[in-house]
Amino acid sequence: MTRINLTVDGEKVADDVEARMLLVQYLREKLGKTGTVIGCDTSNCGACTVHLNGQSVKSCNVLAVQADGAEVTTIEGLATDGQLHPVQEAFRECHGLQCGFCTPGMIMQSVDLLKENPHPSEEEIRLGLEGNLCRCTGYHNIVKAVQYAAEHSSGAVEGAPA
Ligand code: FES
Ligand code: FES
């Protein structure tokens, strides 16, 4: 077992974990952060996307021990003071989800995308989300949601917690 110390959604946590434990397992099984979803376990679907030190990563592709000392934000840490993050609002407004299984990862990836490029073209959005799969929406409303977030709240998106 290895001792890890990290900050998850603004709270400091410390745990002993097996060296082989994935970050997504740690978040879900140890911390109960089930908003972060396992869709494939093979780095394909993006459902497990979280932010590691402000950058989106597929948490099924990161060991928990690699997050030692890091700051992790999950979908559960995006809203502040009961207010949805602007990208969450945009997904709701534009019906960017159906079953919602892919949604946490889509939103985390979209936040990172907009932080890097506050005014992306449709092509840039599609490219930026290519690592996140959705079997329900055909992607159109997801793309619209990212455009909506960029148009309506770019300042808030840029300033939002990473
Ligand atoms: S569960 Fe991580 S990419 Fe699918
Ligand atoms: S809304 Fe169902 S997989 Fe995306």
The pLDDT value recorded for residue 157 is 54
Distance CA 34, CA 84 (A): 18
Class of domain 86-152: mainly alpha
Distance CA 133, CA 124 (A): 16
Nearest atom (ligand 2) to Cα of 97: 1
Q: How far does the centroid of ligand 2 lie from the alpha carbon of residue 101, in Å?
A: 5
Over residues 33-89, the pLDDT tens digits come to: 999 999 997 999 999 999 999 999 999 999 999 999 999 999 999 999 999 999 999
Contacts of 95 (CB under 8 A, 6+ apart): 141
Task: Among 98, 132, 141, name the best residue to mutate to test ligand 2's pocket (greatest count of ligand atoms within 8 A of Cβ).
Answer: 98
Q: How far does the centroid of ligand 2 lie from the alpha carbon of residue 156, in Å?
A: 26
pTM listed for this prediction: 0.94
The mean pLDDT value of the chain amounts to 94
Confidence check: pLDDT of 160 > 80: no
60 lines ligand 1 (CB under 6 A): yes
CB 71 within 8 A of CB 130: no
Q: What CATH number was assigned to the domain covering residues 2-77?
A: 3.10.20.30
The residue-averaged pLDDT of 147-159 equals 72
Contacts of 97 (CB under 8 A, 6+ apart): 91, 103, 106, 136, 137, 141, 142
Domain ranges of the chain: 2-77, 86-152
Distance CA 49, CA 60 (A): 8
The pLDDT value recorded for residue 24 is 98
Confidence check: pLDDT of 153 > 90: no
Q: How far does the centroid of ligand 2 lie from the alpha carbon of residue 109, in Å?
A: 14
Task: Among 33, 60, 101, name the best residue to mutate to test ligand 1's pocket (greatest count of ligand atoms within 8 A of Cβ).
Answer: 60
pLDDT band of 154, cuts 50, 70, 90? low
Distance CA 108, CA 23 (A): 15
User: Quick one: which of 29, 158, 36 has its CA closest to 108?
Assistant: 36
44 lines ligand 1 (CB under 6 A): yes
